[in-house]
Amino acid sequence: MMNHDKLLHSILASQELLGIGARPVLVALSGGADSVALLRALLECGCPCHAAHCNFHLRESESMRDEQFVRELCQRLGVPLIVNDFDVPAWQAEHGGSVEMACRVMRYHWFEQERDRLDCAVIAVAHHADDQVETFFLNLMRGTGLKGLTGMERVNHKIWRPLLAVSRAQILDYLAAIGQDYVTDSTNAHNDYRRNRLRNIVLPVVEQQFAHGRERILDTMANLHDDQELLDDLVAGALPDECHIDAAMLCAHPQASTLLYHRIRHMGFNHEQCRQAVIAVRQGHSGRQFIGQGYIMHINRQSLDIESASDAMPPTEVPIDMTSNVSAPIRLTVTRNNAPFSPRMCDGKSKVAFSTDILNCRRLVLRHWRRGDRIKPYGMKGSKLVSDVFADLKLNHNAKQNIWLLEADGDILWILGHRASRLYSVDSESQNYLLVSMQ
């Protein structure tokens, strides 16, 4: 009865923290002991539930057995059920990665789709205290920082883990007390996966050699979690605006790269990226970019600016015809001139001149800047990175993204409004050329 009460208390306390109210919960239901206990306990706490079952078809008849068990359980309990069949080899063929990764990505993506469609408050998954200990060791062996040693969060966006304070033994006791059966995944006994090796080999030795070893590890994780929260507060105070980080303020800190990492790690940036970003700032390498998970960090002279990748301007490319005026994406007046050319006719920035040979190019486009673009500037030998031209002009990220380039058969001829190339240039002897003006 004590374990029964502890499990229910864990759910009720977590539910109160969430403030779910009357909205239903989408329960990830595999049919195993943990997820079955989670569903039964949520119902016992008066929480309306929908169940979602993933069939990955990786264990032949066992996969169908699990699905049938889940269907019968939900029918008996009166819980609406949705089932999805997944093709793991097809996903791997397209995306790569391990079987574990493929299953994890596919199921959570589907869970979120169904949560939104059914208007469920959260997705409840059955991770428990023993899973936390395993996660601690897995992250420790991979090489991790403070955050990795704090384990899984009880609430992470729309994922809810109400059983993190409950052990596997307490879950089994609860199921026995209410007379509820469940299915067992035979692969749990195999040591092909790292988590299974921890569960079946390493942790039993820890328990044997160190009394209450799992409980002490959980205590350590709780302490590290408190330390992490304090660190997050201090970091936020040191760099108040996470999307516009003052370069001077950052570089003045003796642990600048570590400070930056803790400020932006939730956006998917890693230690090495943060170290390289600080080096770029200190060496004045404006224009560099670093890609996180759904975010892009731009290094500018005075700041590090971070934006959502979905907000970044796409690499627009618009074919144009320069035998007449251009109306889109930017207005250009094109005049064919037969009078002797004088350099005073153009400024090389907003008004430029090109030899009529440009009309023989197979491909003329206006497009935005891309990393690695080079121009052969008028009056200079060799070529220069367009990003270096931007740096000389002291342009910020937004300005760079809004500038148009004229490209002819792969060569950058004009950074509109700023610099022209020596290619297709016109000299004082020319009497047949194009004058092109920005409007």
CA-based radius of gyration for the chain: 31
pLDDT at 254: 93
Distance (Å, rounded) from C-alpha 279 to C-alpha 185?
Answer: 50
pLDDT at 400: 81
Model pTM score: 0.66
Span 227-268, pLDDT tens digits: 999 999 999 999 999 999 999 999 999 999 999 999 999 998
Contact of 355 with 437, CB cutoff 8 Å: no
Residues in the chain: 439
**Cα atoms found within 13 Å of the Cα of residue 360, Cβ hemisphere only:** 5
pLDDT at 4: 65
* pLDDT averages per 10-residue partition of the chain, 439 residues: 62 59 90 96 92 94 95 97 94 82 92 95 95 93 87 91 92 94 87 84 90 92 94 93 93 94 92 92 84 87 85 69 83 86 86 91 89 87 89 80 89 93 84 86
With b for 16 or more beta-carbon neighbours within 10 A and e for fewer, the 158-169 pattern comes to ebbbbbbbbbbe
**CA trace torsion 228, 231, 235, 238 (10° rounding):** 170
Distance (Å, rounded) from C-alpha 110 to C-alpha 43?
Answer: 23
Q: Which two tokens stand for residue 412?
A: 């950058």
pLDDT at 2: 47
